[in-house]
Structure 1
Amino acid sequence: MATICNMGAEIGATTSIFPVTDASHRYLQSTRREQASRDVKLLESFPGGGSSPDAYFRFAADENAQYDQMIEIDLEKLEPHINGPFTPDLATPLSEFKKTVQEEKWPAKLSAGLIGSCTNSSYEDMTRVESMVKAAEQAGLKPAAEFYITPGSEQIRATLERDGTLEAFTEAGGIVLSNACGPCIGQWKRQDGVENGTPNAILTSYNRNFRGRNDGNPETMNFLASPEIVTAMAYAGSTTFNPMTDSITAPNGKEFRFPAPRGLEGPATPFEQGKEVFKALSQPPNPDVQVAIAPRSQRLALLDPFDPFPSSDLAGLRVLVKITGKCTTDTISAAGPWLKYKGHLPNISENTLNTAVNAETGEVNAAYDLDGSKHTIPELAKKWKQAGQPWLVVAEHNYGEGSAREHAALQPRYLGARIIVCKSFARIHETNLKKQGVVPLTFANEADYDKISAGDEVATVGLYEMLNNGGKGDVSLKVTKKDGSGEVLIPVKHAVSEDQAGFVLAGSALNLLSKGL
């Protein structure tokens, strides 16, 4: 359930939830939250899902709740899948993966298998893998590929260490990493001889696998699978291995097949809480305390408020770049080494859209100024910001797919973006844009994507009125072609609510909140 809730955003879900189960109660109890579990049970006993004055949670569905669509999944018929490369929504059944690897000429050799992260690192996940590792150990086998384990939290790390699971992994040849995002978001300096630019395949049980995300190498193909599949593949050292049907030759010459994994839902005794030093400190806010930042700091900078929306429609915008293909939050704001600049908006903005594909030239990270000079996308955005030239981006489907990375909205806003127009948005990113004062618009007719080009001048029609009417009203874009071929009026759609209209008019949600409105 946790994995589905984590990855629901990958297929466009704003949120994913499950009703309370008996397992929910057992988990709350094993994490020393017996009172919360008791309160939930009290809620369930109230007619119509009523409330208890002491309750912390309410897990009941609304009375007479209606759903747009019901999908039933027979878990007995659900085959394991492997997803990727370069996108979490390209799924291949395990039984067909070997054939697909061969047809697509993907690497047959597996260079690394990585399990854990926030997505698949529950106690049950890890103990199921432990059963596989111990079975392979008894057969004399070690992982044929580098095998890494990332506990999902300090609590799970401490508990797995107490119960001997981490020791089983290290004795088998696995490498236990710190309980942090690590390779999942690019904090992985590989030591296995795979140089940047070298095509290779890895399997992970992480939640996302966009190009260059894990190790900064755009040629690393990351395939997503369950921890059990990743572990089996790591022992085989091959992407064509099917643990449901295939065997590995053990040192004694016998054929070894992994038994069905067996794990424990939770520990026999409550979870360990781990080291106190890793817990967040909390104290009441004090507006009298001044935030002091070293003048030469490259990692921290105060955030200046964004300018409010002008008292008219936007005019004189230019199309910075027209993007083709997948444009994720990783594309807009790369992770990896860049994350050290998360507290310094000018510095991290230097990576803005630096892996986007220019629709008109096919180049990666290339944009052209009005005089024809070539720049990287962030270079041109920075140049236009300094010249006071506002801009927009034109893109295709599911713009902003991936993690809810706030910087993917902050950076374009900082550099001068006022609107993004595309065929469709990932909904979390669409909301983030509005919180930063950028207006997300979609083509009313997707074919109009072809009518707008980089360098074109754009003015909004009806946008200011729509914002002042609390999100009600039609909006169009008047596009003056850079090549002098005339003007075209493009109708666009929006999903701006009354609150969000207030964010945009104020310049950002933070601007509005800082005024106590």
Structure 2
Amino acid sequence: MAFDIEMIKKVYANMPQRVDKARALVGRPLTLSEKILYAHLWEGTPSQSFSRGKDYVDFAPDRVACQDATAQMALLQFMHAGKSKVAVPTTVHCDHLIQAKVGAKTDLAVANSQSKEVFDFLSSVSNKYGIGFWKPGSGIIHQIVLENYAFPGGMMIGTDSHTVNAGGLGMLAIGVGGADAVDVMSGMSWELKFPKLIGVKLTGKLNGWTAPKDVILKVADILTVKGGTGAIVEYFGEGAIAMSCTGKGTICNMGAEIGATTSTFGYDDSMRRYLIATGRQDVVDAADQVASYLTADPEVYANPETYFDQLIEINLSELEPHINGPFTPDRGTPVSKMKDEAAKNGWPLKVEWGLIGSCTNSSYEDMSRAVSIVEQAVANNITPKAEFGINPGSEQIRYTIERDGILAAFEKMGTKVFTNACGPCIGQWDREGADKGEKNTIVHSFNRNFSKRADGQPHTHAVVTSPEMVAALANSGRLDFNPITDTLLNDNGEAIKLNPPVGDELPNRGVDVEDAGYQAPASDGRAVEVVGSPTSE
């Protein structure tokens, strides 16, 4: 489970020389994205500059991550590569093959039975070839990567589109197909068209009901689902610095919904705090030695219109909570305008389900801010009008929020706690009553809300919003409820106004876990037998 500090130190040792040479070749200050790209060229030290959106370039990623659905074919291919061990640090995460239905304990047991052959195969291949294996129930791939492996200035690829989540820790993390992952695992280069650059300047500071989620919901509304294609989105400004590391991860995660190659933020104190809280002081010590290379050159942020192909500016102090959808994540509606929009479009106003979790919004901060709304409802005798469910992002998150009483507070409201896995976010949800064929609305903090995405039913209108807004809307049972201005009637008929959410960026007592669910590979895999292997050893 331990991060590879020696690999990280090697990346940082090479970075100054490579970035300095690139700056000389390009002939101008560099963005963060360009620094990371030029520092990871397959050739090593740059010998030429590249044209954005034109040149195809070979890169050398630092690590690879695979989820269980895509890892199967990738590992089968790797077994034919003739290698005894992966060439770069690699992990496999079992998070996609667990269906949400009854609750965590039962659902995990069912998955372990139904997908035993797959899990045994992935476990044994990982054990044999030097791959870290995260067992079913350990958590969602991108949350685990953020907690254990992501580091500022690094480059990684993963066999899932939301690999981009690691941009919250200053990486260039890119989702790829299994064949690309196999190339890198086998010691080969990885090709990418040199991306264009979109800059997003964040001024002001988030306040009240507004959350990091609303930043990307606003960006998606501006750029649409195709606006980021072939580009890296780089966030900067005072608003970015003031935001939590996991909040940055949320924003980067949903960059996949605008088609972006990836998204990232410059190294700052929020990343330091997160790395220290997750046991990676060594990474902070190493990163601080090259901190100026882990963010853009000062001239870039002083005159961003000169250095980015497109520039967007958002004042966080004025940003309103958004609800995006239904049926597409780029249809943005400020909460104050939802009543009119829903009526105009004939969207069902009754909210049937509220869901919190997924790789996008399952951090400690997400859970603590959402539960502050739940606790208000319980304390004021408000019975929720919608069903409510959560998917903790990892066993570390689940254990910590249980220790801190957050899980118990959710359960007081009747919340169904699903497995630490993707669940409804990717359609792994056996939703009771979903087959009735009635138009209905669900609200969730996931990343995607296309038709049939969550429960397989075309009549379900799914909208995307922040975890705290999910909690508010689930309690009200109304899509047109605005917690900023509206009140709720409690069981005594009293009008209750919810206070804005509050929560801790990181747990005050630190993170904790008894069994994270990690299996380290054998030191010598030659004697390890692959279970269920279709190949002859």
Taking structure 2 as the reference length, what is the TM-score of the superposition? 0.50
1:128 positional shift: 1.0
- Residue equivalent to 2:532: 293
What is the CA deviation profile of residues 167-194 of structure 1, one whole-angstrom value per residue up to 9, with x for unaligned ones?
0000121111111001111111113x33
Q: Deviations over 1:391-429 (max 9, x none)?
A: xxxxxxxxxxxxxxxxxxxxxxxxxxxxxxxxxxxxxxx
Cα distance in 1 between the residues matched to 2:496 and 2:531: 61
Give the distance between the partners of 1:187 and 1:199, measured in 2 at CA.
20
Distance across 1 between alignment mates of 2:455 and 2:336: 28
Q: Superposition RMSD on alpha carbons, in Å?
A: 2.2
Rounded to whole Å, the distance in 2 between the matches of 1:128 and 1:293 is: 44
Do structure 1's residue 42 and structure 2's residue 289 form an aligned pair? yes
Partner SS state of residue 435, structure 2: coil
2:495 paired with 1:255 = yes
**Cα distance in 1 between the residues matched to 2:261 and 2:325:** 22
Deviation at 1:253, TM superposition (A): 2.1
User: Which range moves more in the overlay, 121-130 or 203-212?
Assistant: 121-130
Between the aligned partners of 2:391 and 2:339, the Cα distance in structure 1 is 27
1:229/1:288 CA distance change after superposition, 3 Å: same
Q: Which residue of 2 aligns with 1:282?
A: 521
How many residue pairs end up in the alignment?
283
- Given that 2:357 and 2:391 are in contact with CA atoms closer than 8 Å, whether structure 1 keeps it comes out as yes
- Contact 1:188–1:214 (Cα < 8 Å) also in 2: yes
Q: 1:105 to 1:268 in 2, by over 3 A?
A: same
Match of 2:492, SS state, is coil
- Choose the corresponding residue for 1:173, options 411, 414, 417: 414
Higher helix share goes to which structure? 2
2:438 maps to 198
Deviations 1:124-177 (A, max 9, x none): 111111111111111101211001111111111111111110000001211111
Change in Cα spacing, 1:63 to 1:129, as seen in structure 2 (3 Å) is: closer
Displacement of 1:261 after TM fit? 0.6
In structure 2, what is the Cα distance between the partners aligned to 1:11 and 1:293? 39
Aligned to 1:61: 296
Aligned residue runs from structure 1 range 134-213, under 5 A: 134-191=375-432, 193-213=433-453
Q: CA deviation at 1:281?
A: 3.6
TM-score (norm 1): 0.52
1:229-244 matches, within 5 Å, as: 229-244=469-484
1:9-408 correspondence runs (5 A): 9-44=256-291, 49=293, 59-61=294-296, 66-191=307-432, 193-276=433-516, 278-283=517-522, 286=525, 291=530, 293=532
d(CA) in 1 for partners of 2:524 and 2:422? 28
Give the distance between the partners of 2:267 and 2:466, measured in 1 at CA.
24
Partner of 1:449: none
Distance 1:172 1:63 in 2: 49
Moved more, 285-294 or 66-75: 285-294
Contact kept, 8 Å, 2:443 with 2:464, in 1: the verdict is yes
TM-aligned CA distance change 1:253 to 1:23, over 3 Å: same
Report the identity percentage: 47
Residue type of the alignment partner of 1:134: E
Q: Is the 8 A contact 1:32 1:270 kept in 2?
A: no
Q: Secondary structure at the match of 1:77?
A: coil
Between the aligned partners of 2:267 and 2:423, the Cα distance in structure 1 is 31
The amino acid that maps onto 2:295 is A
2-side partners of 1:23 and 1:144: how far apart?
A: 36
SS at match of 2:434: coil
Give, in whole Å, the separation in 2 of the partners of 1:215 and 1:196: 12
1-side partners of 2:439 and 2:520: how far apart? 43
Give the Å deviation of 1:256: 0.6
1:295-349 Cα deviation digits (max 9, x unpaired)? xxxxxx779xxxxxxxxxxxxxxxxxxxxxxxxxxxxxxxxxxxxxxxxxxxxxx
Equivalent residue of 2:384, what SS? Answer: coil
Q: SS state of the match for residue 147, structure 1?
A: strand
Change in CA separation of 1:163 and 1:288 when aligned onto 2, cut-off 3 Å: closer
| Higher Cα Rg, which structure | 1
Distance 1:130 1:275 in 2: 24
User: Is the partner of 1:111 in helix, strand or coil?
Assistant: strand
Paired residues of 2:487 and 2:497 also in contact (CA < 8 A): yes
Quote the residue 2:205 is aligned against. Answer: none
Q: Work out the CA distance in 1 between the residues paired with 2:370 and 2:395.
A: 19
Map Cα deviations across residues 228-250 of structure 1 (whole Å, 9 max, x no partner).
11111100111121111111111
Q: 1:302 to 1:209 in 2, by over 3 A?
A: farther
Determine whether 1:8 maps to 2:243.
no
Between 165-174 and 284-293, report the one with greater CA deviation: 284-293
Q: Deviation of residue 274 (structure 1)?
A: 4.3
Q: Is the 8 A contact 2:386 2:474 kept in 1?
A: yes
Residue type of the alignment partner of 1:168: A
Deviation at 1:286, TM superposition (A): 4.8
Gaps of 5+ in 2: 1-247, 301-306
